[in-house]
Structure 1
């Protein structure tokens, strides 16, 4: 069903890209979640993500598909970072971006990404809760001032950002006490953390992490939660979304949308939570990029249990504009292949396939985050 029409994609979870042209080594480092150099005699270009970049990005820069890495990087240098980014983002077919701004570095922000992608593309910010708390703590070491400032920052964020994100999975793991901590417990935890914290120190205290989650939930804005694989800073078996079941139950009465990011290799577990709880949603970002030629199989597995109104498109692109292209192309091709096969077998109607494709590509994100989040 290669002709399955899709609207411009709404990428509900992504990051900024580099302003300057990276070295060959730095470019390749964005093709993996590892934080270490490749094994001797190997390259990160020899991965599913690396092969996907070499297949889908060269034509947008005037090269043949599958061109060698050296030729691709030479063309990138010839065009320069700004023109490369413009061509790739404009060619991605993405019409709206929700950008997690919590990763430090010299990266394009939401407005700059939208401008690079071309007329009609919109971008809004997703606020990372842990970074919000750390920035607040950098301005004061007084417990009361910190908690008041944090409450104000969350409230302000709810009025300006499209939603919040937590990296609880990295800072503690997802197996937390699901109940909101009481005021005395929060004050004591904040005092301990501030007293022992160096400037710029990361927040890992489980009480304060729970306090952040519940502060965001009470705003009613969508809350994104990292689950599944990522860089080695996390411990993967602590990132199974099923560990959030207690928190999911506790937050159900609030109606606050919980959006489980990435999920792989626990995407079937995440599908169960979306199946069982009305306020749980999930995406397929990152997983499709890193499974590459096998992305169709992963996408089909995500369509097993999760209700179709609960699945959202994202790229989780970070650093390289190429990852926007790859995430979008693998999604489109995978969805068309899976749904097309079901239509060909007669188990789905073509009209239903078109409707579900539009839901996952854009309509679900617009409903979950509100139409105002996408212009």
Structure 2
């Protein structure tokens, strides 16, 4: 992997510890915009001032990004909110889970409010590690006051002596609550909002004049409403902060090895009731010096006082700067400037990340997305200018996103990402591969063997199996697994094309991010995908996964485009019978009464099997979006969750294997054959492709359409594939076209920047197929190609020549693999992106494969394909 590409990947995927956030709204309150205006996701404004929010750059940027999240065709604010309402109604927890992807741990200040929110423990389901608490000291103080004076303040009995008694009760009660919280393992720190109440100019030492404190206490309780109190009188507020700091410092002096519990302080921007001048963290300098054994966290980038906070974090070893809240509250330029200012003198070991996410899950999603993007730009720029080495930059990223918070709050976590409820934990970070393997084995101690696999040019899965101890040697680079280069020109039966050579080898390098349990078969094993490496350990042209990864990176680096992919698995379940005439096994339909999205008597018999498949997939972190009966006898569809291109194809491969394994346990063959029943529709493997931002969607689509005739060499990669793509079979019909929600065009547009590619099936090496699609889109972007093919609302095969011409539809899909391969051979631009050697070897293999298959009898050929796909 290119070093810069690996750095970018790290920034975008490293698990994060959100060191300061708040509770989410309950589903019932999630769309109560009258009480909780959605515009506040990017604004601290309230009331009438909030009406101006839609005209701000932060909200307009957020709207465009949320449109991609919701799959909304427009970034118009009302449309975005409507799309959000639909998702909340349909699957609120699914929305939350999507918004918190990549979050390893949440540290919640759960005392922001006690109305309309989910409980602290409820949030555990959305992160890999249990949620931790940050205790807000002013709320603790208010609750203590309520317990002392539940009936409110009574002026007739408030003599100095009574007030002194109440103050002592308050002192003792507050001390007890802070002590309890300090001892609570779920509490990892404390927070003060004194910045809001009376400002950060906190008196560093105790006021010896008890009368001043007593008067402040009296004013506080006299301003209470019934039993509800708000502590906002300066002497008392300062005293509360010092009391908390005294207890935290004392705890460290008594037991230096006790878990660290810092004090977070709101600094910088806030609601309109803040005194912006007194929110400058420079006021805290004397307080920081007074309590050297307590760690201070200056929240929210201290914006607009980032440099002042940075100075404190530089010169005091007990000060950390949190980079939260300004994402997504300020513009892109301001965000990048804040990161640069934070890095001016602050050690990267003193910077923390948080979202300040609250109420809406989108506040987490926007903050994480925008911070990762800004951090990537800044950190890569420093590397390009020689300020950081790649390794220094990677360490800085891991520290900011994870390590610093992990250490500061004594969390003792490992950087892992938990896919849903899966017991298999997948490492997505710069932690070493052996650490990733150790984490996996800790969570799956019964695993004894690891299957290391790759997909060759014929879409055949090739597997090597190792005892865990031997696989660990591969991960540690104590041994290498060489594979003969003949694989580049090898067919399914292990024969090698005449031009192939048995000389030379490449090496399989495991990608621990793809490690998953083998389920659906009786085996104590797991499987991992691999990269192909040269003798020197560098990337090897021809590796399908590397090809897809590199094109994805090129789209990000050169055009600022992120790609998301998702797949549909269509399989046909067949039963194997012995032909009494020939004594040979034949595959026949497993049902007769079966049709699309119906639950016939035959179909209902398969419900337990389908649910077993869904449960097995969920157990390894693949949460199906839906599954249902398809049109052909015994045909079913499973819709997989989206992901980045390589990860999405990895998910497709593992999901297919699970479906196959479980079907075999029930005596059935789950085949991906494009059309095993000539009297019925065929099976595809439709891909959903989304680009973000979608501002250049027309050029991307134009490139895809222009290179479609060559792309089909990868997407319709067998002669059998072309039996399926005919008009009337809901397979994209026969002309190269696109149409909004038109299932009889090869490219169905679903929303802005989101398409379904229908010319795909299970014979394809999906890494290469997706690489070809993205390469075609990349060429369209490079050439700023105009989109000359119009939106087609009909089956183009049924239009007249004149009607097709008026829409710019001029090219038919290839009718055979031979035509597609010829188109690929003549498409030099596509070869330049994919690699000439890869394309040449691929063409050679597919021609040899076609020759072998076409020499077979039709029934023998069909059985041969069903056995293998």
Q: Does residue 1:153 correspond to 2:177, yes or no?
A: yes
2:320 aligns with 281
Distance 1:50 1:114, change over 3 A: farther
Among 148, 173, 176, which residue is 1:140 paired with?
A: 148
1:214 aligns with 242
Say if 1:57 and 1:88, in contact at 8 Å, map to a contact too.
Answer: no
SS at match of 1:234: coil
Q: Residue deviations 1:131-162, cap 9 Å, x none?
A: 00000100113333222111100101112211
- Looking at structure 1, the residues matched to 375 and 236 of structure 2 have their Cα atoms a distance apart, in angstroms, of 40
1:18 aligns with 25
Distance 1:258 1:169, change over 3 A: same
Displacement of 1:339: 0.9
TM-score (norm 1): 0.90
SS at match of 2:397: helix
- Looking at structure 2, the residues matched to 190 and 148 of structure 1 have their Cα atoms a distance apart, in angstroms, of 17
Displacement of 1:277: 0.4
Among 157, 162, 165, which residue is 2:188 paired with?
A: 162
Among 216, 221, 229, which residue is 1:201 paired with?
A: 229
The 5-angstrom pairing of residues 40-79 of structure 1 reads: 43-63=52-72, 67-79=75-87
- Looking at structure 2, the residues matched to 373 and 210 of structure 1 have their Cα atoms a distance apart, in angstroms, of 34
SS at match of 1:101: coil
1:362 aligns with 402
Q: Does residue 1:113 correspond to 2:131, yes or no?
A: no
2:98 aligns with 90
Distance 1:299 1:88, change over 3 A: farther
2:380 aligns with 340
The structure whose RCO (Cα within 8 Å, separation 6+) is larger is: 1
Q: Does residue 1:34 correspond to 2:45, yes or no?
A: yes
Displacement of 1:108: 2.3
Q: Does residue 1:268 correspond to 2:277, yes or no?
A: no
SS at match of 1:139: helix
Distance 1:371 1:186, change over 3 A: farther
SS at match of 2:132: strand
Distance 1:170 1:195, change over 3 A: closer
Distance 1:350 1:303, change over 3 A: same
Displacement of 1:55: 3.2
- Looking at structure 1, the residues matched to 210 and 90 of structure 2 have their Cα atoms a distance apart, in angstroms, of 50
Among 312, 334, 352, which residue is 2:392 paired with?
A: 352
Q: Residue deviations 1:171-221, cap 9 Å, x none?
A: 111112111345946873575246524231211232322232223223252
Q: Which runs of 5+ in 2 are unaligned?
A: 150-165, 250-260, 416-869
Among 119, 123, 127, which residue is 2:131 paired with?
A: 123
Distance 1:55 1:194, change over 3 A: closer
SS at match of 2:135: strand
- Looking at structure 2, the residues matched to 82 and 3 of structure 1 have their Cα atoms a distance apart, in angstroms, of 37
Displacement of 1:124: 0.9
1:224 aligns with 264
TM-score (norm 2): 0.40
Q: Residue deviations 1:295-321, cap 9 Å, x none?
A: 122211111121111100011112211
Distance 1:326 1:191, change over 3 A: closer
Q: Residue deviations 1:78-110, cap 9 Å, x none?
A: 222683453244344211111112211312233
2:831 aligns with none
Distance 1:165 1:185, change over 3 A: farther
Say if 1:9 and 1:361, in contact at 8 Å, map to a contact too.
Answer: yes
- Looking at structure 2, the residues matched to 290 and 366 of structure 1 have their Cα atoms a distance apart, in angstroms, of 26
- Looking at structure 2, the residues matched to 45 and 23 of structure 1 have their Cα atoms a distance apart, in angstroms, of 18
Distance 1:195 1:44, change over 3 A: closer
SS at match of 1:127: strand
Q: Does residue 1:314 correspond to 2:359, yes or no?
A: no
Among 162, 170, 175, which residue is 2:201 paired with?
A: 175
2:16 aligns with 9
Say if 1:28 and 1:43, in contact at 8 Å, map to a contact too.
Answer: no
Distance 1:293 1:269, change over 3 A: same
Displacement of 1:111: 2.1
2:526 aligns with none
Distance 1:314 1:374, change over 3 A: farther
> Which region of structure 1 is more displaced relative to structure 2, 161-170 or 295-304?
295-304
Say if 2:146 and 2:228, in contact at 8 Å, map to a contact too.
Answer: yes
Distance 1:94 1:79, change over 3 A: same
Say if 2:353 and 2:401, in contact at 8 Å, map to a contact too.
Answer: yes
Say if 1:56 and 1:325, in contact at 8 Å, map to a contact too.
Answer: no
How well do the aligned residues superpose, as a CA RMSD in angstroms? 2.4
- Looking at structure 2, the residues matched to 234 and 259 of structure 1 have their Cα atoms a distance apart, in angstroms, of 19
SS at match of 2:75: coil
Say if 1:53 and 1:323, in contact at 8 Å, map to a contact too.
Answer: no
- Looking at structure 1, the residues matched to 167 and 265 of structure 2 have their Cα atoms a distance apart, in angstroms, of 27
User: Is the helix fraction higher in 1 or 2?
Assistant: 1
Displacement of 1:121: 4.2
Among 270, 274, 295, which residue is 1:257 paired with?
A: 295
For these two proteins, the number of residue pairs brought into alignment is: 368
> Which region of structure 1 is more displaced relative to structure 2, 80-89 or 43-52?
80-89
SS at match of 1:176: coil
Displacement of 1:290: 1.1
